[in-house]
Chain A
Amino acid sequence: MLTEIYFDNSATTRVCPEAARKAMEMMTQNYGNPSSMHALGFRAEQELRAAREAVSSFLGAQPEEIYFTSGGTESNNIAIEGAAEARKKRGKRIVTTAIEHHSVLKTAKHLEQKGFEIVYLKPDKWGKIGPEQVRNAITPDTILVSMMRVNNEVGSILPVKAAADAIEEKKAPALLHIDAVQAFGKLPLHAHRLRADLISVSGHKIHAPKGVGALYVRKGVHIVPLTYGGGQEKDMRPGTESMPLIAALGTAVNALPDLNKEMAAMKELNMFLRKGLSEIEGVVINSPDDALPYILNFSAGGVRAETMLHFLSEHGIYVSSGSACSKGHESHVLKAMGLPRERVASALRLSFCRYNTIDEAKIFLSVFREGMKTIVRRPL
Chain B
Amino acid sequence: MKEILLVKLGEIVLKGLNRRTFEDVLLKNIRRRICSLGSFDIKERQSTVYITPKDGADLGDAEKRISKIFGIATYSRACETEKNISAICSATYEYLHKELSAVKTFKVECKRSDKKFPLKSPQICTEVGSFLQKKFPSLKVDVHNPEYTVRVEVRDFAAYVHGNSKRGAGGIPVGTGGKAAILISGGIDSPVAAWMMARRGVELTAIHFASPPYTSERAEQKAADLLRRVGEYAGHMAMFTVPFAKVQEEILSKCPEDLFTVIMRRFMMRAAEKIAQHEGCSALITGESLGQVASQTLPAIVCTDDAAGMPVFRPLIGMDKVDIISIARRIDTYDLSILPYEDCCTVFTPRHPRTHPVLKFVRQAEETLDVDGLIENCVSGAKITKIEPSR
Contact = CB atoms under 8 A, between A and B. Distances in A.
B216 A42 contact: yes
B391 A62 contact: yes
Contacts of B218: 37, 42, 45
Given A57-B391, A62-B391, A39 B60 contact: no
A188 to B, nearest CB: 10
B376 interface: no
Contact of B217 (A42, A56, A57): A42
A325 B65 CA distance: 42
Contacts of A42: 216-218, 221
A192 B391 CA distance: 14
Interface in A32-85: 37, 39, 42, 45, 56-57, 60, 62
B391 A193 contact: no
Nearest to A60: B61
Contact of B60 (A45, A62, A193): A193
Contacts of B94: none
Given A57-B391, A62-B391, A192 B60 contact: yes
A175 B216 CA distance: 40
Interface in B316-346: none
A190 interface: yes
Contacts of A193: 58, 60
A39 B58 contact: no
Given A60-B61, A192-B60, A39 B217 contact: yes
Contacts of A56: 391
Q: Is the interface of B mostly helix, strand, loop or mixed?
A: helix
A37 B216 contact: yes
Chain A interface residue count: which class?
10 to 19
A193 B62 CA distance: 13
A42 B218 CA distance: 7
A193 B53 CA distance: 15
A190 B217 contact: no
Interface string B58-84: 101100000000000000000000000
A170 to B, nearest CB: 12
A200 to B, nearest CB: 22
A255 B60 CA distance: 27
A114 B304 CA distance: 65
A62 B61 CA distance: 12
A268 B61 CA distance: 32
A193 B217 CA distance: 37
A190 B391 contact: no
A285 B231 CA distance: 53
Interface in A175-218: 190, 192-193
Contacts of B391: 56-57, 62
Interface string A139-151: 0000000000000
Contact of A190 (B58, B216, B221): B58
A37 B216 CA distance: 8
Contacts of A62: 390-391
Contacts of B221: 42
Contacts of B390: 62
Nearest to A56: B391
Name the 4 nearest CB pairs between A and B, nearest first.
Answer: A42-B217, A192-B60, A42-B218, A37-B216
Interface of B: 58, 60-61, 216-218, 221, 390-391
6 contacts: A42-B217, A45-B218, A56-B391, A60-B61, A62-B390, A190-B58
Given A42-B218, A45-B218, 12 more contacts: A37-B216, A39-B217, A42-B217, A42-B221, A57-B391, A60-B61, A62-B390, A62-B391, A190-B58, A192-B60, A192-B61, A193-B60
